[in-house]
Amino acid sequence: MIRFGVMADPQYADRDTLRDLNRDFRGSLGKISVALDDLGAQELAFIVVLGDLVDGSLDDFQPVLKLFEQSKHKIYPVFGNHDYIAAGGDRQTLAKLLNLENTYYSWSQGGYRFVVLDTNDGEIAKKGFSRQKEHDLEAQMGEKLSRIDYWLTNQHAWNGYVLDEQQEWLIRELEAARAAQEKVVLFGHDPLYPMVYNSLRNADEILRLLDKQQVAGTLVGYFAGHHHDGAYAELFKAPFITFKAMVTDNGTAYSVVELDGLNVKTCGFGTENSYIFREKG
């Protein structure tokens, strides 16, 4: 059994609250501190932050990283679109900030292989890594689609890609996990399933990859953020959980995840839901 903490989308910034977007940017710093204190009192293997640590300024990282330094548990970051905006689309800048060699990586622990995807991969996705470009692209899309169709597509500037080089790396990770008889846990910023307007732009392609790799029976789950309302679905005999955003102005959200074989149990705090997934025989 292994237990770890999860936070998604703190999106901290020294900016006023945007009520119409339900984002309390400054409030996230206090929420992170409270969550780290609470999680620090529990027996956990580590904590994962599922992207959008900040809203869009490189300076905003420093207060967040100071809190991370005080954590009693190791923190593994996942990078989101707002983190890339803050870094001007520079992968190396983000990796260096968090003392990583790359923005996608993995580690093995307790019979599991934990695989962190960078779902804002490649130059195609980086077209959205400035606010003005993002707004321009969305304006163009809005002109072509009806309002209903607009919210039925995931082809938005703020959603990312996982491109060929990283897909090949993911295949190698899945193969290595099988060889080591490890179960696989996937983390990413953008959801893969169910499809929502905030899903990865090439989610179907990644799901086909997972299907071809026959992950059912070894995949423990896919855990994501980005879609602030959260979501839950099951695929490949595993839960696909999108965790709610911490930045919202109606309270905090974070979780403790407990893994026992292929069984998954989450305990949500604040506005976050709790889930139980049991392995089917």
What digits encode the pLDDT tens for the residues 106-122? 999 999 999 999 999 87
Is residue 182 predicted with pLDDT exceeding 90?
yes
Average pLDDT (158-177) is 96
Average pLDDT (18-22) is 80
Average pLDDT (209-232) is 97
According to the model, what pLDDT value does residue 162 have?
Answer: 95
According to the model, what pLDDT value does residue 48 have?
Answer: 98
C-alpha span between 224 and 231 (Å, rounded): 9
- The model's pLDDT over 236-249, given as tens digits with 9 standing for 90+, comes to 999 999 999 999 98
Burial (CB count <10 Å: 0-12, 13-18, 19+), residue 66 = exposed
According to the model, what pLDDT value does residue 40 have?
Answer: 96
Confidence of residue 143 (pLDDT cuts 50, 70, 90): confident
pLDDT exceeding 70 applies to what percent of the chain? 98
Average pLDDT (169-192) is 98
Distances from the Cα of 49 to the Cαs of 46, 52, 180, in angstroms?
10, 8, 26
Which pTM was predicted? 0.94
Average pLDDT (206-223) is 97
Confidence of residue 166 (pLDDT cuts 50, 70, 90): very high
At 86, phi and psi to the nearest 5?
-60, -35
The residue ranges of every structural domain in the chain are 2-277
- Mean pLDDT of the residues in the chain: 93
Confidence of residue 123 (pLDDT cuts 50, 70, 90): low
Is residue 281 predicted with pLDDT exceeding 70?
no
Confidence of residue 136 (pLDDT cuts 50, 70, 90): confident
Highest mean pLDDT out of 104-113, 116-125, 148-157:
104-113
Average pLDDT (103-107) is 97
2-277 fold:
Purple Acid Phosphatase; chain A, domain 2 (3.60.21)
Average pLDDT (126-139) is 75
